[in-house]
Each structure stands twice: as C-alpha cells, then as structure tokens.
C-alpha cells in the first residue's frame, strides 16, 4: 500500500502544529480588578498586613512556650550579635543574617568557621519575618525560630560550638550571667535559654512594606505595575504556596513540580550537558530537599528583592529569572517578559525596614 505522507512530512507537520498552539489558543488577557477587589482578594487568601504596633506584633509572634518580654528581647539581641557564640570568636548570628541587607548575607552559600562553606552549598534564608513561618531551614526540619537558633551555633561548618562550650564561655561574663538571672531566674544560664532569648529577639524582627499600606487601604501605595503583578500572583497560583503574613514559609513543597521534554531526557537544553537531578538550574552542592525527595521549604518573599541570589544554593542571581523559573516549573505556564516585570514590581513592594516596636 502506497504511503500518502512521508514520515518526515508528518514530523514537520506535528512540530508546526505544536509551535502554532500558542497562536491557536492564545492566553487570556490579565484582568486586573479594582483596588478594592484586589485588596479583598489578597486578604481573603491570608496575605495579611504586618502589624504597626507592639500589641499587634505580639498577637502574631508571641509564644506561649517562650513569652516575649523586654528583658528577654534585650538579652537575645546581645546574643544575636555576640561572636563569642562561635569557636574562633569571629562569627555571630548577625554575620549570616545581616539585618540591614534583607536578613541574609547575599552569598550563594553561607561561610562559617575558618572560612568553610556549607557542604551542601546552601545559602542563608532571611531571618526577617521568620517567626511568622511554620517551617525553618531549607528542608523545613524544625518549626520555630528557637529551634533554628541552635542549629548554626552547633554546626561544625558554621559556628562550631557545643552547648556546653557556649554555656561555659558565657558564664565567664558577669553581666551576661546577671542578664540571664533577670530573665530566666538564678542558675538558668543554659543552652536552651540561649536559644529562647535569641528566638524572642527574632520574633520582633518584622518588616512593613508598601504592600502592607495597600492592604491597610492606601490605594496609592502600589504602582500600576505592582498591582498587575499582585493580580498575577493571585490569579496564576503563586498565592497557593506563598501565603500568610510572611508571604511564604508556611509549607514544604515539591520543586520542581513540573517537568518537560528535556527534563525527562536528563539534558540541560541551554548547555546540552547531562543533568544529574531534576533541578532546572545548575544544582551546585547536590542538595535535593528533605530526604532527597525534592521537597523544600517555600521561601519567605518579604524582602525578596534584597536577598539575592535565589533558590537553595544561590544559583540564580536575577529576580526576573527566578520568577521565570517558578512560573514554568511550579505553575506550568511560563510568564511573558511583561508578566515577569509586573511580578517583580509587586515583589519589590514587599521590601522594607524592620518595624520599631519600641524594644
């Protein structure tokens, strides 16, 4: 039986059809609702404004297991900046969590004791607004800032101390001993209370941004581009993972969620190199999330414009490229350059300084 179409012809027709699909089925134009409706939709999806005053802050961050008091916050602040918590007395919590730089260190990977890099090439998540998150660390293995505070102090490639060494060193300082007695009672200079004091201080490190003013009713707080970006954020699915007052940190989710033709082939289409895992960029360090399952803590997006580079290993320097990757591999619908610009405009509206709650 004579063939009607040559296989090459059929292949070319199929390729042409695939390439024509975006034109045959164009994307629906973005419908940006009124300011009132945009605000209502954001609030209804738990994107809440950061409180302006101390009572509002305590409502969201105070812990029944570790009540926030002025004396405890003052002690925690002193410990947060104290290099004595590191073996060589050169590193403090503030070394990797620079409060004036978005709460991180803007490095691809954290650098610790004797210049050691994190062995999995993990970077430092922001400490700002971390108390609002339900999961800490890139694999989400702990749930509170108090639990998190003890990790870097003990990690051999970070501050490289033991709880016993921390306590012994601090007990040599009469002022620190007196501060612990005022806060926790006599004889209670313990490593557990070191973590509690640092955690109490971190619970006050919230930031209010133009986005919060918009949520509070100020229509002019966001630019038209940022409002379009917020509409995209809400309508395309970003809000499903990046939610809560912290705009993230509430879940541990799979990344990448979607895979494409070259991913299944195990090839990077840009470099044509063989890929070792599913991560859609150079996965320096080889970290693949919780238990190697590609589940990562959803990052906090507040101050994200100030916390480059991005993703767990800092492989992506540009926020626009980070948004493109997320739209493609998490949402399954790669944003256009205009949509990326608008989304970045919204993300920039999440940047601000730490609120002064009078501590």
Q: What's the Cα-to-Cα distance from 152 to each of 49, 80, 164, 280, rounded to whole Å?
A: 30, 12, 15, 28
pLDDT value at residue 17: 59
- pTM over cut 0.85: yes
Q: Does 44 share its domain with 113?
A: no
pLDDT recorded at residue 8: 57
Whether 309 and 108 have beta carbons less than 8 Å apart is answered as yes
What percentage of the chain has pLDDT greater than the value 90?
86
Residue 333 lies in a domain: yes
Q: Answer yes or no: do 222 and 311 share one domain.
A: yes
Report the range of poorest mean pLDDT among 10-14, 108-112, 135-139, 164-168. Answer: 10-14
pLDDT over threshold 70, residue 117? yes
The burial class, CB within 10 Å (0-12 / 13-18 / 19+), for 98 is middle
pLDDT by residue (tens digit) across 155-212?
999 999 999 999 999 999 999 999 999 999 999 999 999 999 999 999 999 999 999 9
Domain assignment present for 112: yes
Residue pair 290/260 in contact by the 8 Å Cβ criterion: no
The pLDDT mean for the chain works out to 93
Do 147 and 240 belong to one domain?
A: no
Q: Of the candidates 52, 113, 116, which has an alpha carbon nearest to the alpha carbon of residue 88?
A: 113
Q: Is residue 16 part of a domain?
A: no
Given a cut of 70, whether residue 1 has pLDDT beyond it is: no
- The reply to whether 9 falls in a domain is no
Q: What is the pLDDT of residue 13?
A: 62
> What confidence category does residue 5 fall into, taking pLDDT thresholds of 50, 70 and 90?
low
Q: Residue 110: which domain range?
A: 54-202
Do 40 and 58 sit in the same domain of this protein?
no
Which is nearest to 210 in space by CA: 222, 219, 225, 223?
222
**Domain finish residue from 202, 225, 255:** 202
pLDDT band at 28 (very low <50, low <70, confident <90, very high): low
225-240 pLDDT per residue, tens: 999 999 999 999 999 9
Predicted pLDDT of residue 16 = 53
pLDDT at 22 over 60: no
Same domain assignment for residues 183 and 275? no
Last residue of a domain, one of 172, 202, 232: 202
157 shares its domain with 294: no
How many CB atoms lie under 10 A from the CB of residue 12?
12
Q: Which of 202, 229, 258 is the last residue of a domain?
A: 202
Residues in contact with 65: Cβ distance below 8 Å, sequence separation at least 6, in sequence order: 146
Answer whether residue 131 shows pLDDT above 90: yes
Asked, for residue 254, whether it belongs to a domain, the answer is: yes
* 212 and 197 housed in the same domain: no
Report percent pLDDT > 70 for the chain.
92
Number of structural domains the chain divides into: 2
In this prediction, residue 345 carries a pLDDT of 98
* Residue 86, domain CATH: 1.10.760.10
For residue range 41-59, list pLDDT tens digits in order: 999 999 999 999 999 999 9
If asked whether residues 212 and 327 sit together in one domain, one would say yes
Q: Is the pLDDT reported for residue 20 higher than 80?
A: no
Within a domain: 12: no
Peptide bond into 324 cis (omega under 30): no
- For residue 297, give the 3-state DSSP assignment: strand
Residue 271 has what pLDDT? 78
**Separation between Cα atoms, residue 333 and residue 236, nearest integer Å:** 8
223 within 8 A of 345, measured Cβ to Cβ: yes
- Give the pLDDT confidence of 307-316 residue by residue, as tens digits: 999 999 999 9
Q: Answer yes or no: 158 catalytic.
A: yes
| pLDDT of 26 above 70 | no
For residue 13, is it within any domain?
Answer: no
Instruction: Answer yes or no: is pLDDT of 2 > 70.
Output: no
For the residues 62-88, what does the mean pLDDT come to? Answer: 97
How many CB atoms neighbour CB 178 within 10 A? 11
- Mean pLDDT calculated for residue range 252-281: 88
User: Which of the following is catalytic: 158, 164, 181, 186?
Assistant: 158
Q: How far apart are CA 343 and CA 36, in angstroms?
A: 19
Q: Based on the fold, state whether residues 185 and 218 are members of the same structural domain.
A: no
Statement to judge: residues 61 and 198 lie in one domain: yes
- State the pairing for strand pair 252-254/295-297: antiparallel
Q: Are residues 191 and 220 in the same domain?
A: no
Q: Which of 29-38, 71-80, 317-326, 342-351 has the lowest mean pLDDT?
A: 29-38
pLDDT at 11: 59
* pLDDT class of 32 with cuts at 50, 70, 90: confident
Indicate if 219 and 194 belong to the same structural domain.
Answer: no
357 within domain boundaries: no
Region 7-27: mean pLDDT is 54
């Amino acid at each position: 039986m004579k063939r009607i179409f040559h296989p090459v012809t059929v292949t070319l027709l199929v390729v042409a059809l695939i390439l024509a699909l975006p034109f045959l089925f164009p994307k629906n134009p973005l419908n940006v609702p009124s300011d009132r409706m945009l605000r209502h939709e954001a609030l209804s999806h738990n994107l809440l404004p950061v409180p302006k005053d101390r009572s509002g802050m305590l409502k969201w961050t105070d812990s029944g297991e570790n009540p926030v008091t002025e004396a405890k916050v003052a002690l925690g602040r002193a410990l947060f900046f104290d290099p004595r918590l590191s073996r060589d007395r050169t590193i403090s919590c503030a070394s990797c969590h620079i409060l004036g730089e978005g709460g991180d260190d803007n490095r691809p990977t954290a650098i610790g004791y004797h210049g050691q890099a994190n062995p999995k090439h993990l970077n430092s998540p922001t400490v700002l607004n971390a108390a609002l998150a339900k999961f800490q660390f890139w694999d989400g293995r702990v749930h509170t800032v108090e639990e998190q505070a003890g990790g870097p102090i003990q990690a051999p490639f970070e501050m490289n101390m033991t709880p016993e060494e921390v306590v012994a060193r601090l007990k040599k300082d009469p002022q620190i001993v007196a501060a612990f007695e005022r806060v926790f009672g006599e004889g209670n200079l313990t490593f557990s209370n070191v973590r509690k004091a640092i955690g109490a201080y971190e619970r006050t490190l919230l930031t209010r941004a133009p986005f919060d003013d918009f949520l509070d009713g100020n229509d002019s707080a966001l630019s038209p581009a940022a409002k379009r970006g917020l509409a995209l954020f809400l309508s395309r699915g970003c809000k499903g993972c990046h939610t809560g007052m912290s705009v993230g940190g509430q879940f541990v989710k799979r990344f990448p969620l979607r895979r494409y033709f070259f991913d299944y082939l195990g090839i990077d289409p840009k470099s044509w190199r063989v890929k070792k895992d599913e991560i859609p960029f150079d996965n320096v360090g080889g970290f693949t999330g919780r238990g190697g399952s590609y589940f990562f803590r959803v990052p906090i997006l507040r101050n994200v414009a100030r916390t480059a580079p991005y993703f767990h290993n800092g492989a992506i320097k540009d926020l626009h490229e980070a948004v493109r990757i997320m739209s493609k591999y998490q949402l399954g619908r790669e944003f256009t350059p205009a949509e990326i610009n608008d989304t970045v405009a919204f993300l920039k509206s999440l940047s601000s300084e730490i609120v002064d709650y009078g501590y």
